[in-house]
Amino acid sequence: MELSVDTVLQEATSALATIPDGTPRLEAELLLTEATGWSRTRLFAWPDHPVAPDAYARFHALLGRRLAGEPIAYIRGRQEFWSLELHVTPATLIPRPETELLVETALESLLPDAPLRVADLGTGSGAIAAALATERPAWHLFATDRSPDALEIARENLVRLTLGNLSLLRANWSDAFAPASLDAIVSNPPYVAAGDPHLTRGDLRYEPREALTPGGDGLEAYRAIAADARRCLSPGGWLLLEHGYDQGTDIRRILAEFGLSAPSTRTDLAGHDRLTLARG
């Protein structure tokens, strides 16, 4: 017997409620749209419509992957960020809403119509660079990563979004840039401490470990970026770094130690420290 859309969604929502910090109904809807090819609007409009056996079989397989803990972004192969739909795989971190604060702050801090040169270090899927390139066509974005697999995903996103003002470079942080060649650096580097138990929980179990933690106290990437920032930034250029909720004090100290001016920290919507910025 074929089950209705509403019945399938109700059963899946109940099953998905066992996943901590999940969004059961939304995830059930996204998985069903993936299995059927229907839009969420169609699901809402036709709750009594039967789900064909082949579509239900696909849905059941996808649901099993999610119940096993696999992130829904990897199951679907895409994630929305800054209203852009980005291709993602286990070679890249999943772009998260908190990172949009980094994009917002860069847009607020830098001249919108000047031909600025902005580097996104450790770009992963290219989410930050793509958002800035979309919003500021006068800027030229340089997105770096040392992972060839991550850069291939970023390249696919760049091509699909037709971003002609974004270049990709395989590099370790800012190594590829000449002195005083950048007007701003933005980055969401790995910042989880090596022993943090979150690394063995939830979605983080599936994400690339090297993109989550640099080992040790979680601050090594900030030291590396800060150590080279003044060399490759033009005078007065900006450095903007996303970090963990409890790292603001440490990041400000690191930036000051490497001679960056007036480091300050901004909080996210939950009131947690989320990014620190300074000038070269």
Question: What DSSP letter does each residue of 82-146 carry, written as one string?
Answer: TTEEEE--TTSPPP-GGGHHHHHHHHHHS-SSS--EEEEES-TTTHHHHHHHHH-TTSEEEEEES
Confidence (pLDDT) at 197: 77
Look at phi and psi of residue 83 and say left if phi exceeds 0, alpha if psi is from -120 to 50, else beta: left
Helix 148-160 vs helix 127-135: angle between axes, to the nearest 10 degrees? 30
Confidence (pLDDT) at 22: 80
Confidence (pLDDT) at 274: 95
Map out the domains of the chain as residue ranges.
5-68, 90-279
Q: Does 5-68 match 90-279 in CATH topology?
A: no
* Residues with Cβ within 8 Å of residue 104, at least 6 apart in sequence: none
**Which candidate, 117, 146, 149, places its Cα nearest to that of 221?**
146
Report d(CA 131, CA 109) in Å as an integer.
15
Report d(CA 191, CA 173) in Å as an integer.
14
Annotation: CATH topology of 90-279: Rossmann fold (3.40.50)
Confidence (pLDDT) at 33: 94
Confidence (pLDDT) at 139: 98
Instruction: Return the structure tokens found at 16.
Output: 């998905």
Give tens-digit pLDDT for 156-182.
999 999 999 999 999 999 999 999 999
Q: In the CATH scheme, what is the code of domain 5-68?
A: 1.10.8.10
The structure's pTM equals 0.91
Confidence (pLDDT) at 47: 87
Q: Which stretch of DSSP H or E encloses residue 266?
A: strand 261-267
Give the residues of the chain that fall short of pLDDT 70.
Answer: 1
Confidence (pLDDT) at 1: 67
**Which candidate, 100, 101, 144, places its Cα nearest to that of 119?**
144
Instruction: Return the structure tokens found at 236.
Output: 């007065």
Give tens-digit pLDDT for 52-104.
999 999 999 999 999 998 999 999 999 999 999 999 999 999 999 999 999 99
Report d(CA 97, CA 93) in Å as an integer.
13
Long-range contacts of 249-256 (CB under 8 A, 24+ apart): 250/219, 250/222, 251/219, 251/222, 251/276, 252/276, 252/278, 254/219, 254/222, 254/223, 254/226, 255/222, 255/226
